[in-house]
Structure 1
C-alpha cells in the first residue's frame, strides 16, 4: 500500500474523492488531508506520503507553488503529484509538466479515468522502488566488496561512516544455511526451497531485531550471507555480539530448523579495518565442525588450541572397511560415530575431514572395482565425493558417510554373489572388451581359471545363447558399424573385428545378415 494525501480547500471535495475511488483496490490508502498549501507543505515534510493529490486554486499557497516548494526541499525524495483543477488552462498544465507532475485531471472527476491514473501511478512507483532497491543493493554489495578486500578509498570510507550510525566498533558476520543439497533425507525434501528464501527471510528478521537495519550492509558470499554490524546497531543487546547472534539464529531456526550457523570476526575500531574482521570471521568459520552443536562461533571465544591437519586413527578406518566387507550394518554405524567423535574432539580442520573422508571413499571404490562393480551406480557415492562444495553440517556429513558405507556394503554383498556364480558378468565384460582379438571359449576359460565346458554351459544359462553365437553377434555388429561409418575395405574390416580370414568373415556375415558385407554397404548407398 502506498500512502496518499488529499489537498483541497473544499472539505466536501476531499470527502467526495475519498468516497469516489476504491483506494485499496488501487493499492493505495488515504492517510492525510490538508485544506491549504501551507499546512500541506508541513505535513508532507513530516509524514512523507507517497502520493499527493492537490487542487490548484487554494488560499495561502496554491497547488503549483506547493509542488515547487516540495521539490526544492525534498532533495530528490519528493512524492508523486496529481493535480486536480476546475480550470482547463494550458499554462497550468504546462507548468505542471515542468514540475514533473504525474497527471493533470480536470473537474468534475471521472471515476474510471481517476482509477486508471491511480493504478498506473501505483505501477510506476512499484517499478521505481524495485529499481532503486536493486541499485542500492548493487552499490552496497560493491562497497562491502571493497571494504572486506581492504581496497576502499578514504573518501568512500568517510562517506559510509557518515551514512552509518556513529559507532566505536564494527564486526563482520557470516550467516550460513546448511544441508540443502540434492541428497537430502526424504523427510527434508521441502527444505530444497529454503536456499531461495534464506536471504529475504534473513533480511526480514534483521529488520525486526534491529529497526535500524537500513544502515546495515548485507552481502552475498558463496553459499552464505555476510554483513557489517556496529556496536551502535547492537545497543539493544548491550553491545553483546554473542547475544545478538543467538537471538538471530534462534529466529532463523524457527523456519529453517537446526541448520543455521552464525560466525563473527574480531571487533575493529574503524570501518577501514573491516577487512581484518572479515579475515577473522573466515577463521571462525573454519572451526565449524568443532562447534557443530552450538552453531554460533565468535572469533575471540575460540581457544588457543589450533585446528589439526592430520590423518584419523588408521585402526578406525581399517575396522570400518572390514565391517563393510562383512556387511555388519549396525557395527558400521557405531564405527562412523567413533570416527566423527575423533574429528570433533581432536579439532580436525574442515580440510582434514575432507581428506579423511576422501581416503575412505577411495578405498571403498577400489574394493568395489576389484569385485567387478561400479561405485558410480550408488547415489550415495555422488554425495560423498561432492559434499565439500556445499554447506554441510557435521551431523549431516556423518549421515552421508554412513549411507555410502552401508550402500557399498550391500553392493559388495551382491557382487560376491555374482562371483560365487562364476563371475559370469565379468566374463561377459571381458568378451565385450576383447571380441576384436583372437579369443575363444578355451582361452577365456584359461584367463578365468575355469573349465571350458562348464563356462560354455554357464554362459548359455545366463544369457540364453552359446558363447560362439554371442561372439559372432558382437563382431558382425561392429562390422556393420564400420561399413556404415568408414570406407575401409572388406578385408580390413575383417581384421578389425577379429577375423583372420576375410572369406570366412564374409561367410559368417552372410549367414547372420542374409547378405554379404558388400551388398550391405551397397544397400546403404542406394
Structure 2
C-alpha cells in the first residue's frame, strides 16, 4: 500500500519540481493530488483520504497554517503535515510546530531532507495504523459478542467469521459523493438486514468498506452470496472471505486474522466469489523453485536477448496458477532477487539501490500485477547497469586477455576456465571474443597455438608429436587436423616448404 500525498503550492514550477525531486513510490508514497490554494486543498481532502499534506505557508484563499488548523479540527482522519516555505521565520516555524507538523522545510528543498522527512512521516503513519488496528480489533470483538448474544446463534455449534467486500467500493467512494454514495451504502445495508431476517448471515461491523459478518454454515454462505449478487446488481466483483469454523469466543481474533488473510489472498490473485482460509499451500513450494526462474532471468540479463519480459510473465503465470500463499510468495521473491543480485554483485556491479528499492516494496504488493511490474523494473535496472559494465569492460580487458592467452596457450585453456580467471560469464566472454576478433574463443586459441607450432616447425628439429604437446594439444591427430585447417597443409608439408636452413 502506498501512502497518499497532496501537494499544495501556488507556483506551478515548484509543484512540478517537488513531484520530480524524488522517487516517491520507492519510498512508499504516491502523489494523488495537487492544489494551488488552501480552500481547493481542503475540498480535495474532504472527498479523498490523504495521508500526507505537503503545503507552502503562503498560499491563496487559505494560508498553509490556517489550512492545517482547519484540517485538524474538521477532518476525521487528518493527514500528517510537512510545511515548505521560502521564509526562515521563527514565528511561522513556531506556529507550525504547535500544529504538530512533522517538519518545516525551507526552499530550495534539498532531496536528502525531504527523503529523511518522509521516512519520519512513514514511521508515524505506521504507528498510527497499529493503534487504529488495535482499537478496531477491540471494537470488532465487542460487536461480535453483542451480535452473538442478540441472535439465536450458538457459537458452540460452530460459526464462520467473514468479510464481505465489494471491489468497486474504492472507486465508488472516490467518484461519487453525497446522495449517490449514500444510496449505494443504504442498499447494501438493506441487503444485510434482509439476510439477518432470513438467518443466513449476520453483519456485525463495517470498517472502511469491509463488512464483517457471521454465518453458521457453508450452505448459508453460498445462499447469502447469491442473494447479495442479485440484490446489489450494480456490483460486479464481490468477495466473500471467511475463516475456518470456530466454536469458542476466544478464537475470535484468530478468525478475524484468517478472514482478513483470505480477503488479501483473493484480492492479490484478483479473485471474486467465496474463499475460505486454508493454512496449507495449494501447490508445493518446490514446484516453483524447480522452475529456476532466477537462473533464467540471470541468463536473459547476461545475453541481453529480449526475453526478460517474457520470463517475468511466465513466472507470474506460474504464480497465478499455483495460488501460493502470500507469506511463501514474499519469501520466494526475496530468494529470486537475492539470487540475481548475488550473481551480478560477484562481477562487481553495485546493486544496493535496486535491492533496497525492491525490499521496500516487497511487503506492500497488493496484487500479482504489482509484482510483475516491480520484478521487471528490478531486472531492467540490473540489465542497464550490466550493459554499462560490459561497455567499460570491453574497452580495457581485451589486452589483458590476449596477454594471458599468449602466455598460457600451451595449458588446458577453456572458455570457462579463462572466464573464471577474469570473473566473467562464459557466454559474455564468448560474445566479447567474437565481437573483438571476429572469431570464437576456441578458434582464437587454435590460431595462437598454430602460429607457435609454425614457429617451432621452422626453427627446431622437434618431432610433430612433441610440437603438438608443446603448443597445448595432447592428441597429435587433432593437432594435425587443426593445423591443416588453418594452413591448408599438414605440419610436415609446412616444414618442408618453409623450414629455415
User: TM-score normalised by the shorter chain: which range applies?
Assistant: 0.3 to 0.5
TM-score with structure 1 setting the length: 0.37
TM-score with structure 2 setting the length: 0.38
Larger Rg: 1
